[in-house]
Amino acid sequence: MKKFAVFGLGNFGFSVAKALYEEGHEVLCVDREEARVNKIQEFATHTIIGDATDRSLLESAGIADMDAVIVSLGDNLSASILTTLYLKDLNVKNILVKIRSEDHGRILEKIGADEVIFPEKETALKIAKSLSNPNILDYIPLSPEYSILEVAPPNRFIGKTLSEINLRAKYGVNVIAIRELVPDRLTMAPGGDFIIKDSDIFIVLGRPEDIAKIQD
């Protein structure tokens, strides 16, 4: 069991806190609004009604002992920046901050945020990818050049082995796992003799433009 703190209990913060709690972790939730704190009570180990920019509150809450702290303070950019600065001063191991813009994220990274989260942008990218190519089921950007995608194999691959389709040589794409629906299991690093079924889902690593060629 790990220990997490969530500052800000809007839709994003509430959902993260609830998910962590349901995974069996210890979760501290902090928000200035009493109604939000009351709403999260059943999905939190500890709750505090208070201001995340209050350094004395952070120190008394034992934030330094947390495995990670998630900061989700909505449109209050100055509060998220100040809170992140205090968390860094308190030597928090892992600081994740929900951001509102690219510039906001750049500032937070410079003052010590370990990860910035831009849900609107990430959701928009996933929607755009799925609309552009219905066979792309999920999309995880790793860098400007490479991504991990879940892709339904085209009909011409069905019944063939991974060696026969040879995605690495033909497209520069690596199949890092296959999610089988029948039977329900995940095969990591599948071998070349793996026979592709119409119920399989490829989890591939490569450049998006190369992955798109698979569907052409």
When pLDDT is averaged across residues 157-185 and rounded to a whole number, the result is 90
Residue 24: per-residue pLDDT = 92
| CATH code for residues 3-117 | 3.40.50.720
The CB density around residue 147, as the number of other CB atoms within 10 Å, is 19
Under the banding of pLDDT at 50, 70 and 90, the label for residue 42 is: very high
Strand, coil or helix: 201? strand
When pLDDT is averaged across residues 154-168 and rounded to a whole number, the result is 93
Place of tokens 């996933």: 126
Burial class of residue 34 (count of CB atoms within 10 Å of its CB; 0-12, 13-18, 19+): exposed
When pLDDT is averaged across residues 104-108 and rounded to a whole number, the result is 85
Which residues of the chain are in CATH 3.40.50.720 domains?
Answer: 3-117
Query: Considering the chain, what percentage of its residues have pLDDT values greater than 70?
Result: 88
Place of tokens 């809450």: 61
Higher-pLDDT residue of 118 and 66 is 66
> CB under 8 Å to 214, separation ≥6 — which residues?
151, 153, 154, 167, 171, 173, 204
Task: Indicate the pTM of the whole model.
Answer: 0.61
134-157: pLDDT as tens digits: 554 455 555 667 778 888 888 999
d(CA 31, CA 25): 19
Higher-pLDDT residue of 125 and 155 is 155
d(CA 39, CA 26): 17
Which residues of the chain are in CATH 3.30.70.1450 domains?
Answer: 122-215
H/E run at residue 206 = strand 200-206
Kindly give the residue spans of alpha helices, DSSP state H, lying in the chain: 11-22, 34-40, 55-60, 77-89, 102-111, 119-132, 162-165, 167-171, 208-215
Residue 137: per-residue pLDDT = 47
pLDDT at 28 over 70: yes
CB 119 within 8 A of CB 12: yes
Higher-pLDDT residue of 124 and 40 is 40
Fold category of 122-215 in CATH = Alpha-Beta Plaits (3.30.70)
Residue 47: per-residue pLDDT = 95
pLDDT at 121 over 70: no
